[in-house]
Structure 1
Amino acid sequence: MRASYGWFNYEPAPHRITRPATGQRLTIAPSNGSEEAFDVTYADADFQCPLRIVVVRREHYLPFRTLEYPAWFSEPRHYGHWRRVDEFLVDALLCWPVMAGEPAATGLTIIGGWRSGKWQPHLKRGFRGGWAATQATKERPYTVAEPALIPLDLPMPPQWRVVDVDWPRTEARLESVRHENGVAILPRGERVSGFQGRVPFLAREDGAAFIFFSKLEPQTYRDGEPETHLHYTYVDEDFFFTFASAPRWSLSLGLDSDYGYRVTPPPREVWPADMYGNLQPWDAAVRGFSWLGYRAWRRVYDTLHDAWPAWGPTPRPVKVGPEVNLPAHYGRIGYIGNYGPGTSHGYTAGMPDSGYTAWYL
């Protein structure tokens, strides 16, 4: 049992997880003495709400916890109301087994949520994580990020749309990026370009953010099975970077490349981090790969949740031509938008968690 873990404190009687920095807490009690269901109460300085967790147990497997929002409200009062509860709840429930000294659950399922401007009562998301940060070395413990309380009046995020092309190229890059002392910069005054007409992309309705397919990477799995990795570039009004995707780990928000800024100095929340969660100076030259800091990760994770459905159900094949010589066990074709919107790598309890995964069921 742990009295504290990252930004959480834990009390065993009654079971309560609190985040002192935001005043949020989750109190957990067995429902009518049953170990198959738990009544939980979320509370902060503004409101509280009751919920219930159902524990699914399978022989030879660790338990799986499920929470259904629609069982308690048909629709939250506001988007920000749901975001505040959901951000805290998912994180706290993933860390609960670690703090209570219980066997780690195989995962968490959350039913219901806002997405792409609509309340979707049947939206089903799965999560794993909450324990990888315990592997931090004693010599170099993880840095705990500073949490923020989501405003109840947080506005609905802008909508996204897809812009297609007939024949996608296998690579596209941002134009007009300049480098100052090793730091990549694309000023806000410059047009975001280099990919239009070459590859499909997602555009935010205000025209200030884009997610575009940037590279097809032929690969092979360890048993010789052909596959491809697809890379995407995210760019908004503050920063940009490129991330990879693959069949087994979906959209990876771990190691990222081509990290840069739209304004200097950039907001602190988009500075990159090291693998222990320490923010790195924005003006330090970035060579190779970077990690997202907590605030940047949270921004991108929430954006992908809303934006990715805009790709729609139609496959968009992209292919390496026969003129390119590749080993027979390397993949040549990928489908843009296929490996999302699930993500891997993230944060739990304010600490980097390489075992964090989120997916859609």
Structure 2
Amino acid sequence: METKMTKSLSVARATRMSGIAMGLLAVIVIVMALAPYWAGRAELRLFGEIFLYMALASLWNLLAGYAGLVSVGQQAYVGFGGYMFFALAILWGVHPLAAIPLAGLLGALIAAPVAVLIFRLRGAYFAIGTWVMAEVFRLSFAQFSALGGGSGTSLPVDIVKSLADGRAAREAAAYWLALGVVVAVVGLVYAYLRSSRGVALTAIRDNELAAKSLGIDIWRAKFTVYVVTGGLTALVGALIFLQKLRISPDAAFSVNDWTAFVIFIVVIGGIGTLEGPILGTLVYFALRETLADLGSAYLIALGVLAILIMLKAPKGLWGLVRARSGAELFPLSRRVRGLDD
């Protein structure tokens, strides 16, 4: 009897539901990759924006939901990536497709000294410190006269045309870049959290003192996540302003656009879960497209919704779904299950 029971059990991360979800996700990605052939320009721009916000939300969730680094200054890297993209393309003649990853690399390089400085702060002081650094970035780039100073600048037509031949091809290229980035970001975050470093990060989030007693280098783990997140956020920022074709300090370092809305997305979706930012992004854009005509009432509605979710479902919408159904589309932890599960 004992032998039979032993054979009927196994230890695994994946479940039947997660396998089906991964298959459906692959189909959705393929369908969305073909969007330039069946969607109009307005739809492509909206889809691209959704993908970029989804990437930003996934990165902020990794930073705050797993590393415990609640930043309200991630607009620093969005703006930095946008400005580095414009500087590389306009001032140094780098092709736009090469300028995008280079902007991300420069974002990671600038994030390292910033991390060393602000990691001296804790809790609310850390959050305020990240916002102060973002303001320093904004004021610094406002003095950058080569890129228009405080009024900003537009991407020259010849650089835009070098991206692809024809307007439709350029729209499609920008769209595919956004889709590729969100797939890469979600995939990298998933792979990282499944690794030993991800397990260490989760242990730090759950109990920092216990994690330290087990020999985990807490400072190094958080530093690595902050630098990687800064670099990838800068890369997303480069793509955002490639789509916009214009940049200015106020737009590039907007706390509302690149941090407040991202935090809202993660909170309503479910912080500390991979599925939460994806669900939250879809909900946010559904609300925006439905209620945007209401003006300031739209922002009030978002605030009321966030408060209600935090009161009724502290773990977000995905936490509510998981509590009722046990669903986990991106399984991270191992579990004992029957061979027929």
Q: TM-score range by the shorter chain?
A: under 0.3
> With CA pairs under 8 Å and 6+ residues apart, which has the higher RCO, 1 or 2?
2
Q: How does the TM-score come out when normalised to structure 1?
A: 0.24
Q: How does the TM-score come out when normalised to structure 2?
A: 0.25
Please identify which structure carries the higher helix content.
Answer: 2
